[in-house]
Amino acid sequence: MEALAEMDLGFLLAQVSDDPDSLRALLVNEIERSLPDIISHLRIPPPVSKNYTKMIESRLSGKPGFRRYNATERKRVVQQLEDESFLRNLRLAQERYSNGVQAGTAKRARAIPTDYSDGTGFVVDPVQRTAPGRTSQFHGPFAPHKQGRTNMIVTSVTSQGLQGELPLEISEDSDARTARIEKDIAQTTLEVPDIPIELQEPLADRDIRDLLALIKSGRLVGFIEPSVQNLLPKGVNKIRVPRTRIYAGLDLENLIAEYHKLAISDLVSRDLADELQLLDGLIVAMEHEAQWSRINTRRFHLINKKHSIGLKHDEKEELDALDQLAQKQMYAVQNLPFAELAMLKVYARRLGFEEDTG
Q: What is the pLDDT of residues 106-127, one digit of tens each?
A: 333 333 333 433 343 333 333 3
Do 21 and 55 reside in the same domain of the chain? yes
Do 24 and 148 reside in the same domain of the chain? yes
Which tens digit of pLDDT belongs to each residue from 258-280?
999 999 988 888 899 999 999 99
Do 259 and 201 reside in the same domain of the chain? yes
Do 157 and 204 reside in the same domain of the chain? no
Q: How far apart are CA 228 and CA 56, in angstroms?
A: 11
Do 16 and 147 reside in the same domain of the chain? yes
Calculate the alpha carbon distances from 122 to 116, 118, 131, 145, 327 in Å. 8, 6, 8, 18, 72
pLDDT band at 175 (very low <50, low <70, confident <90, very high): low
Which tens digit of pLDDT belongs to each residue from 64-85?
888 889 999 999 999 998 888 8
pLDDT band at 342 (very low <50, low <70, confident <90, very high): confident
Residue 353: inside a domain, yes or no? no
Do 217 and 94 reside in the same domain of the chain? no
Residue 223: inside a domain, yes or no? yes
Computed over every residue of the chain, the mean pLDDT equals 74
Torsions phi, psi for 182 (to 5 deg): -60, -30
**What does pTM read for this prediction?**
0.59
Do 89 and 177 reside in the same domain of the chain? yes
Residue 328: inside a domain, yes or no? no
Residues 216-220: what's their mean pLDDT? Answer: 91
Do 141 and 280 reside in the same domain of the chain? no
> Is the pLDDT reported for residue 50 higher than 80?
yes
Q: How far apart are CA 240 and CA 40, in angstroms?
A: 40
Q: What is the pLDDT of residue 319?
A: 92
Do 232 and 126 reside in the same domain of the chain? no
pLDDT band at 205 (very low <50, low <70, confident <90, very high): very high
> Is the pLDDT reported for residue 351 higher than 90?
no
Share of the chain above pLDDT 70, in %: 65
Do 241 and 168 reside in the same domain of the chain? no
- The CA-to-CA distance between both ends of the chain, in Å, stands at 84
Residue 357: inside a domain, yes or no? no
Residue 322: inside a domain, yes or no? no
Final residue belonging to a domain, choices 126, 160, 184: 184
Exposure letters 252-265 (e unless 16+ CB within 10 A, then b) = beebeebbeeeeee
Number of domains composing the chain:
2
* Range(s) of the domain holding residue 229: 197-310
Do 137 and 238 reside in the same domain of the chain? no
Burial class, 51, CB count within 10 angstroms (exposed 0-12 / middle 13-18 / buried 19+): exposed
Do 121 and 13 reside in the same domain of the chain? yes
Share of the chain above pLDDT 90, in %: 32
Final residue belonging to a domain, choices 184, 219, 234: 184
Residue 294: inside a domain, yes or no? yes
Residue 356: inside a domain, yes or no? no
Q: How far apart are CA 358 and CA 348, in angstroms?
A: 14
Helical ranges in the chain per DSSP H: 9-18, 20-40, 50-60, 71-97, 103-106, 174-184, 252-263, 270-308, 313-333, 338-350
Q: How far apart are CA 152 and CA 114, in angstroms?
A: 6
Q: What is the pLDDT of residue 154?
A: 35
Which tens digit of pLDDT belongs to each residue from 219-249?
999 999 999 998 888 889 999 999 999 999 9
Residue 329: inside a domain, yes or no? no
